[in-house]
């Protein structure tokens, strides 16, 4: 009498099906494609804001800044057409850098991003990121934070947090 060696066809098919089910359920966890894409968007927002700020600061240094009030914060706007009045698209500046209110206007943001209210009293920060609401951005772990310049000679800060994307 012959003894069978190896697996039967049914056993082989069952093992392959079980491995397939495990792969389908585990692959998204290991690949994390959506989280990586969100983190890349946040890094892209940071790059766009840094570049917009550098361009605005260069224009300011070239004499396009026009004072609009208090010298305590050096509030100015960029008078791009040199007509002496602030027109649409001319950003507010603080100490020669973009005001947090103007950042969103100067960067073309994706519609899926949530932006905090830059005009809230006492706010000198702007959060841009992925969250359920603007209020949840500060507590979330997937955002870009712009903090405007705080004084003469100071620079704005550009921070990304992507651990929760």
Instruction: Tell me how far apart the alpha carbons of residues 91 and 110 are, in angstroms, rounded to a whole number.
Output: 20
Q: Which of 138, 135, 126 is nearest to 53 (CA)?
A: 126
pLDDT digits (tens, 9 = 90+) for 58-84: 999 898 888 877 655 578 888 888 887
Q: List all residues 6 or more positions away from 107 whose beta carbon is below 8 Å from its beta carbon.
A: 45, 48, 49, 52
Which DSSP category does 70 fall into? -
Within the chain, residue ranges assigned H as helices are: 9-31, 33-59, 100-106
* Sequence spans of domains, the chain: 34-161
Secondary structure (3-state) at 69: coil
* pTM reported for the whole predicted model: 0.76
pLDDT digits (tens, 9 = 90+) for 90-135: 898 888 899 888 898 888 888 889 988 876 666 788 999 998 888 8
């Amino acid at each position: 009498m012959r003894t069978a060696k190896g697996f039967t066809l049914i056993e082989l098919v069952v093992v392959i099906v079980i491995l397939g089910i495990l792969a389908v359920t585990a692959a998204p966890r290991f690949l994390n494609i959506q989280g990586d894409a969100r983190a890349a968007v946040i890094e892209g927002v940071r790059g766009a804001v840094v570049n917009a700020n550098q361009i605005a600061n260069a224009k300011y240094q070239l004499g396009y800044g026009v004072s609009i009030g208090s010298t305590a914060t050096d509030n100015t706007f960029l008078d791009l057409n040199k007509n002496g009045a602030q027109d649409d698209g001319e950003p507010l500046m603080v100490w020669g850098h973009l005001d947090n209110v103007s950042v969103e206007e100067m960067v073309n943001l994706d519609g899926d991003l949530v932006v905090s209210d830059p005009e809230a009293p006492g706010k000198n920060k702007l959060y841009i990121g992925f969250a359920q609401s603007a209020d949840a951005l500060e507590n979330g772990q997937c955002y870009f934070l712009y903090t405007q310049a705080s004084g003469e000679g100071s620079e704005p800060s550009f921070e990304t947090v992507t651990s929760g994307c």
